[in-house]
Amino acid sequence: DKLVLGYWNIRGLCAPLQMMCEYTDTPYQTVNHSGTMDADGRPVPTTWFSKEKPALAEINPLINLPYIIDGSIIVTQSNACLKYLGRKLNLLGANEHDLTLIEQCIFQVWDLRNELIRVCYGPKEAYEGGAAAHFAKAVPGHYSKFEALLRRQGTTYLVTKSPTAADFALWEMLDHHELWAKAIGQPSPLAAFPLLQVLYSEFRSCPKLAVFFASPLATRPINAPHAHFK
């Protein structure tokens, strides 16, 4: 049976999961849930909140978006979904040492994402200054850690010679920042990080991901409609 990946109709947190399935030739289908927020960030009633979410909560009370349905198993929470697919698709390295490093990288990516979210979904009046500060300080701070890890590992990808779950999460966040920087007239944040540049370009040109990058999934908005950067 196909895996089911459920999320809003944006790239957001689901794109790394979709790419992991594409990379491993794993059959899957994406279920897009409609939903939006008002000007104050409050959910506007949709069938996700009134129908689909309550039904899934009967099986998994923790349910949220994104989620994975794998037969009788329903997994939610973004990083739990990454790790679940990582285990299922053999994308968590070869041993405990690899796994431990992959987990650290996943949460480092999450830290970077949280800083992006604070700016993109924060007060509108603080957006311009917040975005400038984000690219001036937060991004180099996180990127320098990944660059140093790549230098120490001596590999194209973060932990091993081929992508792991952490690389899918990282690539999506790198691409978010490339598109965001371009949208606001900032230089590429990858310019000062040659090893991250290689990871970014090698991932983007991977033949196993060509179908994904040519599909509508790759060109969806990154963030929700109420974000300052879409």
Q: Is the pLDDT of residue 37 over 90?
A: no
- DSSP H or E stretch at residue 210: helix 210-213
Q: Would residue 216 count as lying in a domain?
A: no
Q: How confident is the model at residue 49 (pLDDT cuts 50, 70, 90)?
A: confident
Q: Is the pLDDT of residue 14 over 70?
A: yes
Residues in a beta bridge with 43:
37
pLDDT of residue 34: 79
117 and 82: one domain?
Answer: no
Backbone CA torsion sign across 196, 148, 158, 173? negative
Indicate the average pLDDT of the chain.
95
Q: How confident is the model at residue 36 (pLDDT cuts 50, 70, 90)?
A: low
**What amino acid occupies position 170?**
L
Write down the pTM of the prediction: 0.95
The two tokens of residue 213 are 């990058």
- Report d(CA 191, CA 182) in Å as an integer: 13
Provide the CATH number for the domain around residue 10.
3.40.30.10
pLDDT of residue 45: 65
Q: Which of 8, 1, 11, 55 is nearest to 212 (CA)?
A: 11
Q: Would residue 47 count as lying in a domain?
A: yes
82 and 100: one domain?
Answer: no
53-101 residue pLDDT tens: 999 999 999 999 999 999 999 999 999 999 999 999 999 999 999 999 9
Structural domain of residue 59, as residue ranges? Answer: 3-88
